[in-house]
A = this chain, B = another copy of it.
Amino acid sequence: MRTAPPVPDETVRLPVEDLLALAGRVFLRLGLSPAHAEAMARTVVAGQRDACPSHGVYRILSCAHTLGCARVDPRAEPVLAATSGAVVRVDARYGFSPLAFERGLPALVASTREHGVGALVLQHCFHFSALWPEVEAITAQGLAALALTSSHAWVAPAGGHAPVFGTNPIAFGWPRPGPHPFVFDFATSAIARGDLELHRRHGTPLPPGCGVDSDGQPSTDPLAVAQGAMLAFGGHKGSALSAMVELMAGALIGDWISLESRAFDAGAGAIPCHGELVLAFDPARLSGGDATAQQQRAEQLFQAITRQGARLPSQRRFEARARSLAQGVSVPRALYEEILALAD
């Protein structure tokens, strides 16, 4: 393994392939099947490469913790059902989600091209990854995508004080000419769960509006909010979207809502186990006409955003990706050594 000398802020830089190989080796060591180990390595390295540390290689440690305490099957072979209408269904059988997504993707793409719209239902998976890698895998096929997943019940509904919703991310992607699609991926909670944990660990106050204590009073104390409830972004609108995610990625697809997922966890603090819904759309089929004119219309929108100095979502992430590919992926030294220790 080639490692560049540590930079002053105590990080290590590794070529993507080396970090992939290391992560894969650790996952095998942790008992994952080769197919799971590869899919998981791709997922956590993509997060690290794009400077999303909360979805990066530190998740290897969460997976190790989850394997020690939860009913996850590290070798579960996902079962792809025969496509029914426009619906592709993969039962992850209580394995990690990335392999289940990879197994369903070709059928989703085929179904979407055939019907104009396609739905991929993932069931019974331990889910820790960002949604943008999935959305980008779909835009790479020239399709638009919308992905929704629940998590653990940590977020109170607008006007309430008790946790009901997960952090319930929504991700969307639109294929563009050139290297990068239009992509966003955000939690419907006012703050990501990982960021709340960081504030708790560092003893720093939360920004206002992120949560309430167990009496339902607004609080910036991360411990009080962890014992009370987080809040949705954007008031009643964000709260409504979070409810939609529960319904679409839970009740609609016959999988758990975040209340059930949290109950299943029973305080273990493992990676949440639940379902996911991914919708895909074929612009060539939905436009009913000239796909080039339509592509230009989207580019006109993006130009109207960027020429006034506003950024497109994911722009920072794509910049980080370019840096990582050119200079190697940056990993904090302490974390790198923890991961190395797991590889032995």
Contact = CB atoms under 8 A, between A and B. Distances in A.
Copy total for this chain:
2
Given A157-B305, A243-B305, A301-B247, A288 B89 contact: yes
A159 B310 contact: yes
Contacts of A257: 297, 300-301
Contact of A250 (B170, B289, B297, B311): B297
A308 interface: yes
Contacts of A260: 297
Interface string A219-241: 00000000000000111111011
Given A144-B247, A243-B182, A297-B251, A234 B236 contact: no
A246 interface: yes
Classify the interface of chain A: helix, strand, loop or mixed: mixed
Contacts of A297: 250-251, 256-257, 260
Contacts of A39: none
Contact of A161 (B156, B186, B294, B308): B308
A259 B298 CA distance: 11
Given A87-B285, A164-B308, A252-B287, 8 more contacts: A86-B115, A86-B117, A87-B286, A146-B244, A156-B308, A174-B251, A184-B243, A233-B235
12 contacts: A84-B288, A87-B286, A164-B305, A170-B241, A182-B243, A184-B237, A184-B240, A233-B234, A234-B237, A246-B301, A247-B301, A250-B297
